[in-house]
Amino acid sequence: MRIGIPGALFYFVYYPMWKVFFEELETEVITSGKTTREMVDNGVREALADACVPVKLFFGHAMALKDKVDQLFIPRIVCMNSKTVYCPKFLGLPDMIRHGLPDMPPVIDVRIDTRDKRFAALRAFMATGHMLKKSTPAVLGAYAKSRVTQMKFYRLLRSGFQPAEAIDMVFNRIKAKPVITTGQMTFAVVGYPYIINDQYISVDVVNKLRRMGINVLTPDNISPLSVAMQHYDSGKRMFWTFSDKVLRATRYFADRKNIDGIIHLSAFGCGPDSIVDRFIHMDNSRRSVPFMSLTIDEHSGEAGIGTRLEAFVDMVKRKKRGE
Amino acid sequence: MRKVSFPHMGESYRAFKMLLTDLGNEVVLPPRPSRRTLNLGVQHSPEFACFPLKIVMGNYLEVIDKGANLLVTSGGVGPCRAGLYAELHKKTLRELGHPVDIIVFEPPRLHPINFIRNVNRLNPARLSIKAIIECIKRGWRKLQALDNLEKISHIIRPEELHRGTTTRMYKKVLEWVDSAYTTNEIIEAEAAAVDEMNKIPRDHERLILNLGMVGEIYVLLEPASNLEIEEVLGNLGVRVERSMFLTGWTRDNTWKETTEGMTVKDAAHPYLPELIGGHGRDSIGHTILYAKRNFDGIVQLAPFTCIPEIVARTILNKVSHDYSIPVLTFFLDEQTGKAGMVTRLEAFVDLMRMKKMQAAKLKPA
Ligand code: SF4
Ligand code: SF4
């Protein structure tokens, strides 16, 4: 039995856990890995033209796994914190893959909604394990192990690594070299993890900044508690999990003395971001941290983004010297 | 002086105007969305905001121009952007230097306190609770009458002998309902209007196509936002049945006509078992129910970048294939042109007609 996990969207949030869970149950895990040119082209061709870039990429990743696996693991993650839900596209993700692409392998689409029942995540993994005909103790054991790995992953994020790096470190035992250097400027790059960490569509903004001698922090690097403690006055709360996190994290960064600039990275065609970006702007108009939004799409060239980044960095440097 | 206004949505303003005036408010009527509305809205909204948000933004700016300073709207339920509209509107309008307030109505069943508090704010005439309920009932009855007439216009237009009679007549009888005030008057005006519409000379021999219309609520209900698509289709000989009306979308839609008596939710279940917000699941469920009733085609209307409708459209490909019913989708925004839409509709109608005639030929008489 080979289980496929597309290397997009939730990959950057839950891959360590999922991989360990299945491997503990003696199931081979195959991932589509890093985004390639071909995946982008396939996704753009097969997904609806009006879909957002990340969903198109997900289509491309799913297609790359089509003939290599027996089942695709695309859980329907509705709500994980009993408060906010995921963007409607996540809610319909398994259905879009199942009905929107021809000849796909069967999709495991267990539903996780912590508003329904207690221990919803555990229940979902139990159901998945039973689907694979594994005994309850075996599944429980695998679940426990997978949580341990996930914790390790979170610790790496807290210490300043980005998800893709942390995944590499967890599984390939690559020796960690520190990514935060003291004495440098620090920028916050805010946005959804599956946009920031997809090196192909984000044209590797994080490493570009690092090469310019800038420390980079993202919402993944702050503890959930600090995120939760931020308040923003948008009357109604953002009800999408990722968007809520981006707004709160931006607030957090904007209040830090050591943050020299904030960049909001958003995807072309993203519905929630149209509102998130506007709220960030409104929030930030009262603060003095330099801010820039960058919208990326499947054709955003290295050149264009690079130029804008450099201009922004120069502006911040000048401002800093002037003070 | 306090002046109240609200967003334009089809003909519903006629009922809202009456209700708000009864409660003692001075009302500024929202103009029908026009080019100018769109331009204003687009200029002051985020680029990728949904189309309805932009139109309503433009509409607000227009009524503010005419002196409105208290805006009334409905909040959204479910996980979609609509719930955040009011907040975004308020912030933007204040940034532009308009000190307006927005009253957001949430569904009374879920937020009874919010509902009562809001009604109180809109009741300078200090009517008693009983009188308020009376006014709401009358307003609702008027809305029903308006919806009814619209439905009838969809049925008659494709059969009219002389192009344009239905639209003209519909506009005329709307005014009758508009000027009716007591419940009895509303009922009488409605009956007279229905009679009058039925007198329109019709050609009963025509081959009429049946089309189901699904999609997002705002672009379905505001003809100005969908470039009067129902009228265009009617003129092409297509009877449109729309899946949503203001007075109909809250009730549980059990379709008696299907033998199974399925709900929209049940119908959608094999394809989309999750409520994804907006009206995505309804679009799928209604499409299936229309297919089961042997409709000839489906038109889906969605605002550009509408999240739930994008999910729905992706899945509708499969539904369309499984039930062999053609589906045409329009993602609408300020750049959608009428000429392009008409061309696509004409091609679609030809396709439906050919399919229907072939099926008729194949079927043993
Ligand atoms: S949040 Fe935006 S980018 Fe993410 S899936 Fe939804 S629409 Fe796409
Ligand atoms: S349903 Fe569509 S139009 Fe309505 S708020 Fe959501 S994305 Fe916007």
Residue B322: count other Cβ atoms within 10 Å of its Cβ.
13
CATH code, B95: 3.40.50
**Higher pLDDT among residues A229 and B215, named by residue:** B215
Residue-wise pLDDT tens digits, A292-308:
999 888 777 777 888 89
Question: Exposure of B111 by Cβ count < 10 A (0-12 exposed, 13-18 middle, 19+ buried)?
Answer: middle
Residue-wise pLDDT tens digits, B127-150:
898 999 999 999 999 999 999 999
A227 has pLDDT over 50: yes
Q: Which two tokens stand for residue B41?
A: 């809205």
d(CA A208, CA A204): 6
CB contact set of B181 (below 8 Å; sequence gap of 6+): B18, B138
Task: Please report whether residue B132 resides in a domain.
Answer: no
Q: Which two tokens stand for residue B244?
A: 């949503």
Task: Please report whether residue B133 resides in a domain.
Answer: no
**Higher pLDDT among residues B205 and B248, named by residue:** B205
pLDDT at B284: 95
pLDDT at B251: 43
Q: A162: alpha, beta or left, given left = phi > 0 and alpha = psi -120 to 50? A: beta
Q: Which residues in chain B have Cβ-Cβ distances shorter than 8 Å to A271? A: 48, 50, 81, 305-307
Secondary structure (3-state) at A134: coil
CA gyration radius, chain B: 21
The angle that helices B82-95 and B51-65 make with each other, rounded to 10 degrees, is: 40
Task: Please report whether residue B303 resides in a domain.
Answer: yes
CATH code, B317: 3.40.50.11900
Q: Which of A194-203, B41-50, B66-75, B165-174 has the highest mean pLDDT?
A: B165-174
Put simply, the answer to whether A270 touches B306 (Cβ < 8 Å) is: no
| Nearest chain A CA: its distance from B192 CA (Å) | 45
pLDDT at B77: 53
What mean pLDDT comes out for the span A170-183? 77
Say if residue B361 is in the same domain as residue B224: yes
Q: Which two tokens stand for residue B286?
A: 């209604």
Q: Does the C-beta of B58 come closer than 6 Å to ligand 2?
A: no
Q: Which amino acid is at B27?
A: V
Last residue of a domain, one of B204, B239, B254: B204
Task: Starting at the earlier edge strand, list the strands of the sheet with A2-5.
Answer: A28-31, A2-5, A71-73, A107-108
Mutate to test the pocket of ligand 2, among B56, B73, B80 (most ligand atoms within 8 A of CB): B80
**Higher pLDDT among residues A174 and A151, named by residue:** A151
The secondary structure of B125-178 as a DSSP string is: T---HHHHHHHHHHHHHHHHHHHHHHHHHHHHGGGBSSTTHHHHHHHHHHHHHH
What mean pLDDT comes out for the span A237-261? 88
**Higher pLDDT among residues B200 and B111, named by residue:** B200
Q: Which residues in chain A have Cβ-Cβ distances shorter than 8 Å to B273? A: 95
The Cα-based distances of B267 to A93, A304, B79, B260, B293 in angstroms read 19, 47, 21, 10, 13
The Cα-based distances of A199 to A37, A160, A271, B166 in angstroms read 12, 17, 22, 58
Say if residue B284 is in the same domain as residue B351: yes
Nearest chain B residue to A113 by CA distance is: B274
Say if residue B113 is in the same domain as residue B148: no
Say if residue B224 is in the same domain as residue B360: yes
Which one of A52, A84, A96, A276 would you mutate to disrupt binding with B, by most B Cβ within 10 Å of its Cβ?
A96
Weakest-pLDDT range from A49-58, A144-153, A174-183, B19-28:
A174-183
Say if residue B362 is in the same domain as residue B216: yes
CA gyration radius, chain A: 20
B259 has pLDDT over 60: no
Q: Which of A121-125, A241-245, B314-318 has the highest mean pLDDT?
A: B314-318
Q: Which amino acid is at A6?
A: P
Question: Exposure of B237 by Cβ count < 10 A (0-12 exposed, 13-18 middle, 19+ buried)?
Answer: middle
What mean pLDDT comes out for the span B189-213? 94
User: Which residues share a beta bridge with A85?
Assistant: A79, A240
Percent of chain B with pLDDT over 70: 93
pLDDT at B252: 40
Looking at the 3D structure of chain B, how many domains does it have? Answer: 3
Percent of chain B with pLDDT over 90: 68
Task: Please report whether residue B282 resides in a domain.
Answer: yes
For A104, which DSSP code? Answer: P
Tell me the domains of chain A and their CATH numbers: 2-158 (3.40.50.11890), 180-321 (3.40.50)
pLDDT at B254: 39
Q: Does the C-beta of B306 come closer than 6 Å to ligand 2?
A: yes
- Residue nearest atom 2 in ligand 1 by C-alpha distance: A270
Residue-wise pLDDT tens digits, A150-169:
999 999 999 999 999 999 99
pLDDT at B256: 45
Say if residue B179 is in the same domain as residue B223: no
Residue A107: count other Cβ atoms within 10 Å of its Cβ.
18
pLDDT at A109: 92
Task: Please report whether residue B257 resides in a domain.
Answer: yes
Last residue of a domain, one of B153, B170, B204: B204
Residue for token pair 């995540």? A121
pLDDT at B250: 41
Longest dimension (CA), chain B: 71
Weakest-pLDDT range from A138-152, B101-115, B159-173, B200-214:
B101-115
The secondary structure of B3-35 as a DSSP string is: EEE----TTTHHHHHHHHHHTT-EEPPPPPP-H
Mean pLDDT of chain A: 89
Residue-wise pLDDT tens digits, A39-92:
999 999 999 988 999 999 999 999 999 999 999 999 999 988 888 889 989 999
pLDDT at A229: 83
Task: Please report whether residue B254 resides in a domain.
Answer: yes
A286 has pLDDT over 80: no
Is A184 within 8 Å of A313 (Cβ atoms)? Answer: no
Q: What is the torsional sign of CA B205, B206, B212, B216?
A: negative
Say if residue B64 is in the same domain as residue B82: yes
Q: Which two tokens stand for residue B60?
A: 């607000």
Q: How confident is the model at residue B78 (pLDDT cuts 50, 70, 90)?
A: low
Q: Does the C-beta of A88 come closer than 6 Å to ligand 2?
A: no
Phi, psi of B74 (to 5 degrees): -110, 145
Say if residue B254 is in the same domain as residue B328: yes
Q: How confident is the model at residue B79 (pLDDT cuts 50, 70, 90)?
A: low
pLDDT at A272: 87
CA of residue A93 to ligand 1 center, whole Å: 11
Q: Which two tokens stand for residue A148?
A: 């341990």
pLDDT at B149: 95
Print the domain residue range for B212.
Answer: 207-365
Mutate to test the pocket of ligand 1, among A273, A297, A298 (most ligand atoms within 8 A of CB): A273
CA of residue B243 to ligand 1 center, whole Å: 27
Torsion angle of C-alpha atoms A143, A147, A149, A155, degrees rounded to 10: 180
Say if residue B196 is in the same domain as residue B123: no
B195 has pLDDT over 80: yes
**Higher pLDDT among residues B276 and B177, named by residue:** B177
Q: Which two tokens stand for residue B206?
A: 């025509």
Mean pLDDT of chain B: 89
B342 has pLDDT over 80: yes
Is A282 within 8 Å of A311 (Cβ atoms)? Answer: no
Task: Please report whether residue B213 resides in a domain.
Answer: yes
Is B212 within 8 Å of B316 (Cβ atoms)? Answer: no
Last residue of a domain, one of B158, B189, B204: B204
Say if residue B218 is in the same domain as residue B173: no
What mean pLDDT comes out for the span A18-25? 95
Is B274 within 8 Å of B281 (Cβ atoms)? Answer: yes
- Interface confidence, given as ipTM, is 0.88
Say if residue B316 is in the same domain as residue B328: yes
Task: Please report whether residue B59 resides in a domain.
Answer: yes
B253 has pLDDT over 50: no
Q: Which of A92, A235, A272 sits opposite B87 (nearest CB)?
A: A235
Say if residue B327 is in the same domain as residue B259: yes
- Residue nearest atom 7 in ligand 1 by C-alpha distance: A270
d(CA B144, CA B155): 17
